[in-house]
Structure 1
Amino acid sequence: MGGVPQGSRDGGNPLRQLSLDQLRRRTSHKWREYPDDVLPLFVAEMDVPLAEPVARAITAAVALGDTGYVVGEAFPRALAEFARTRWGWDELAVDRTVLMPDVMHGVVEAVRLVTGPGDAVVVNCPVYPPFYTFVAHAGRRILEAPLGADLRLDLDRLRDVFRQARAGGRAAAYLLCSPHNPTGTLHTADELAAVAELAGRYGVRVVADEIHAPVVARDARFVPYLSVPGTEDGLSLMSASKGWNLAALRGALALAGPAAAADLARVPFEVSESTSHLGVIAQTAAYRDGGPWLDALLSGLDDNRRLLAELLAEHLPAIRYRPGQATYLAWLDCRALGLGDDPAAVFLDRGRVALNPGPTFGTGGAGHVRLNLATAPEIVTEAVRRMAAAVT
């Protein structure tokens, strides 16, 4: 395949260290969903080797037979130190954290803690598709508060939907995606404080999915929801899963503000007990020792965002792309191409590039696709070439 890396070994950029042949030997979802003639840029897996500190930690555990049940506070303590050094947040209370098997299981547990069956959960669409399926599985109903035209939180619309959610005095939750998936929007401290004020005014409990928190542009800083004023009754879910590509080494933490500690204490024992010990070892190593590897990744992602913008401007100028400050995902507005509600189907069929279909992200997703930038720049280049050929 022309233009695709066949053996790059750029030691500074994790995105350039694996060849396409090596990647195709993987057995994960990204590399087994489609035939080999398809470039997979859909599911949120990164084309990187495992960070060396993580590899050492889990290899040592396996060699020792350290594969029992999880225990201890090493994971939350490592996250607390990471939060202090990376985000300037030194108020992460280890005693207000609970282990979770992964972030989405944690989201479901948090929603169950603060709402009852049939209550509303507000989301900002277009948004991560499992929000819809997991919330429905939990027996709650989704209310959409669409993002604004600038792909940022629309606080006026959020206020109106909060009112609707609380109609009749029912409990309600707001599932905040921070940073936002799929747009890559990084919420500001002022925006989060405004969210907290609205939630407090209308009695809506906030559950923040902050799984992409480590993945921000090098000139930006993530703001934890629980670090802003008015979030005392908030809940948050964090994990190293996205920052260090650890989906197979599951683990997450639920964090509570001071007024939500009693809620977190009601998490069933079997939920925390189901967290993987090896996953916790990997997560701890990532937060504690994976900073240099993460920095190299973030620089590579910054380069890929710029590259994608340049390639689209040259080859597919009808596609609108606003590079986000966070995540490794690109949200592409393809409506001007006239490909219908699901351009991803056209790019797959005609171009052999697999992208996420926009309609699965809820209202506002039609005519869009999500592209995973966490790959070699040569693969990004080849993908855009194929996409352009698919519409000519």
Structure 2
Amino acid sequence: MLTNPLHGLTLPELRKRTSMKWRTHPADVLPLWVAEMDVMLAEPIHRALSDALAVGDTGYPAGTELAEAIGAFAQDRWGWAGLNVGRTAIVPDVMMGVVEMLRLVSADGDSVVVNSPVYPPFYSFVEHMNRTVVESPLDGTHRIDLAALEDTFQRVTAGDGRAVYLLCNPHNPTGTVHTRQELTAVAALADRYGVRVVADEIHAPVVLPGADFTPYLSVPGSESALSLMSASKGWNLAGLKAGIAIAGHDAADDLARLPEEVSHGPSHLGIIAHTAAFRDARDWLDALVGGLDANRHLLSDLLAEHLPSVRFVPPQGTYLAWLDCRELHLDGDGEPVERGLVTLSAGPAAAFLDHGRVALSAGPAFGTGGAGHVRLNFATNEDILTEAVQRMGTVWKELGRN
């Protein structure tokens, strides 16, 4: 196996980066917020991009190579042979793909059901396109509450109302990996109430030991659903825009209505990079997952030592930790302030940033269930993760009310 990719960069080297993660806050802040990983590019991806640049291959994207690469990956890693390249389309990225899928299967004023707490752009993007976000909160163990979901479906479809269920699989911010049984039950409910399903599966490659990823389109009853996938999170390619929309058998005609101009949105270099990731950089991903698993255990130990009052359910997937900080009794548990896609601190996140110089994502931005919580990105090296939690522990000792 390759060397753990999270061990390759020091803090001074990381501070040379100009991305959002490293430029939003001052240089004395340890940024463990936005979903960027502290890794170098996987060598097969670097080589594919270098080869393209060497021949000036910087035009418009075309072809089905990315869909074919994801299909082969899905069969090898998830045992899913059902990805039909003829029912796919390239999209600019997963979130813009979600928007385009919602445009295909819903109209102004329709309801979009989400499982809160959930990725903040689910709220902002959906509301911007004149749909109504309706929350169906996760249960107390961070899993889909099927009874609550059925109640929500029944309510939003009453009187011939139309609705879409925007599924996050694996779930952000909790790191929950939904089981085949759970997803099959979801599909049955969606069919019963005539709810269309759009699945954001951007974190699918990043499932940690002990859990198995199930593509939503692989479960019975999902034939009318649409899925979005990408190499963005698994291989740290957010700056190389690309994604794939995949239609279930009965959603093929919907996807066929996708405007041609949408396919011009992804970067050609992004398509090349994402294809190389799924096809040629699997060993790198395996090494990364091993490193993330080690960091998941390290984080548990660090929290037990420095912040024992924090409640933490170790994630099954992603590299995001959802920390319940309510027992720390830190001041300033207010509403978050949004600037574009960046949500500034509120509640315990404000205390950790202002007094500990650690940047985390503020819980209230994730909707109902987010108050008093923070999201921590542990895709970094052990030294940075250790120092960050130590700083957070110091803040609690200085400011917390026992």
Q: TM-score range by the shorter chain?
A: over 0.9
Q: 2:97 aligns with which of 102, 106, 115?
A: 106
Question: Which is further off, 101-110 or 339-348?
Answer: 339-348
CA distance in 2, matches of 1:167, 1:235: 23
CA distance in 1, matches of 2:159, 2:106: 14
CA distance in 2, matches of 1:106, 1:375: 28
Tell me which residue corresponds to 1:4.
none
Q: 1:371 aligns with which of 373, 376, 379?
A: 376
CA shift at 1:170, angstroms? 2.0
- 1:247 correspondence with 2:238: yes
Tell me which residue corresponds to 2:11.
20
Tell me which residue corresponds to 1:6.
none
Quick check: 2:179–2:212 contact (8 Å CA) kept in 1? Answer: no
Matched residue type, 2:102 = V
Quick check: 1:174–1:206 contact (8 Å CA) kept in 2? Answer: yes
Tell me which residue corresponds to 1:226.
217
Q: 1:357 aligns with which of 357, 362, 365?
A: 362
- 1:129 correspondence with 2:134: no
Superposition pairs of residues 292-307 of structure 1, within 5 angstroms: 292-307=283-298
CA shift at 1:156, angstroms? 0.4
CA shift at 1:218, angstroms? 2.8
Matched residue type, 2:185 = A
Instruction: Report SS of the residue matched to 1:241.
Output: coil
Tell me which residue corresponds to 1:383.
388
Q: TM-score, normalised by structure 2?
A: 0.94
Instruction: Report SS of the residue matched to 1:58.
Output: helix
CA distance in 1, matches of 2:161, 2:168: 23
How many pairs align? 383
Tell me which residue corresponds to 2:136.
145
CA distance in 2, matches of 1:134, 1:268: 19
Residue-by-residue CA offset, 1:322-369 (whole Å, 9 max, x unaligned): 101100000000000112531000000110000000000000000000
Tell me which residue corresponds to 1:313.
304
- 1:43 correspondence with 2:34: yes
Tell me which residue corresponds to 2:315.
324
Instruction: Report SS of the residue matched to 2:198.
Output: strand
Quick check: 1:11–1:17 contact (8 Å CA) kept in 2? Answer: no
Tell me which residue corresponds to 2:248.
257
CA distance in 2, matches of 1:324, 1:141: 29
Q: TM-score, normalised by structure 1?
A: 0.97
- 1:348 correspondence with 2:353: yes
CA distance in 1, matches of 2:211, 2:148: 27
CA distance in 2, matches of 1:11, 1:255: 31
Quick check: 1:205–1:234 contact (8 Å CA) kept in 2? Answer: yes
CA distance in 1, matches of 2:209, 2:313: 17
Instruction: Report SS of the residue matched to 2:213.
Output: coil
CA distance in 2, matches of 1:218, 1:391: 31
Tell me which residue corresponds to 2:88.
97
CA distance in 1, matches of 2:229, 2:388: 31
Matched residue type, 2:205 = P
Matched residue type, 2:44 = P
CA distance in 2, matches of 1:322, 1:93: 36
Superposition pairs of residues 152-163 of structure 1, within 5 angstroms: 152-163=143-154
- 1:60 correspondence with 2:65: no
Quick check: 2:66–2:275 contact (8 Å CA) kept in 1? Answer: yes
Quick check: 2:42–2:281 contact (8 Å CA) kept in 1? Answer: yes
Residue-by-residue CA offset, 1:149-185 (whole Å, 9 max, x unaligned): 0110000000011112112212110000000000000
CA shift at 1:11, angstroms? 6.0
CA shift at 1:220, angstroms? 2.4
Tell me which residue corresponds to 2:343.
none
Residue-by-residue CA offset, 1:65-119 (whole Å, 9 max, x unaligned): 0001111111100000000000010111000001100000100011111111000
CA distance in 2, matches of 1:317, 1:158: 33
Matched residue type, 1:73 = T
CA distance in 1, matches of 2:127, 2:158: 19
Q: Any unmatched runs of 5+ in structure 2? A: 334-346, 398-402
CA distance in 1, matches of 2:266, 2:329: 46
Tell me which residue corresponds to 2:184.
193
- 1:119 correspondence with 2:149: no
| Segments ≥4 residues shifted beyond 3 Å | none
CA shift at 1:219, angstroms? 3.4
Quick check: 2:228–2:246 contact (8 Å CA) kept in 1? Answer: yes
Superposition CA RMSD, Å? 1.0
CA shift at 1:315, angstroms? 1.2
Residue-by-residue CA offset, 1:182-231 (whole Å, 9 max, x unaligned): 00000000000000000000000000000000001133221000000000
Question: Which is further off, 264-273 or 163-172?
Answer: 163-172
Q: 2:203 aligns with which of 212, 218, 229?
A: 212
Quick check: 2:307–2:396 contact (8 Å CA) kept in 1? Answer: no
Residue-by-residue CA offset, 1:23-82 (whole Å, 9 max, x unaligned): 000000000011111000000000000000000001110111000111111110000000
Matched residue type, 1:346 = A
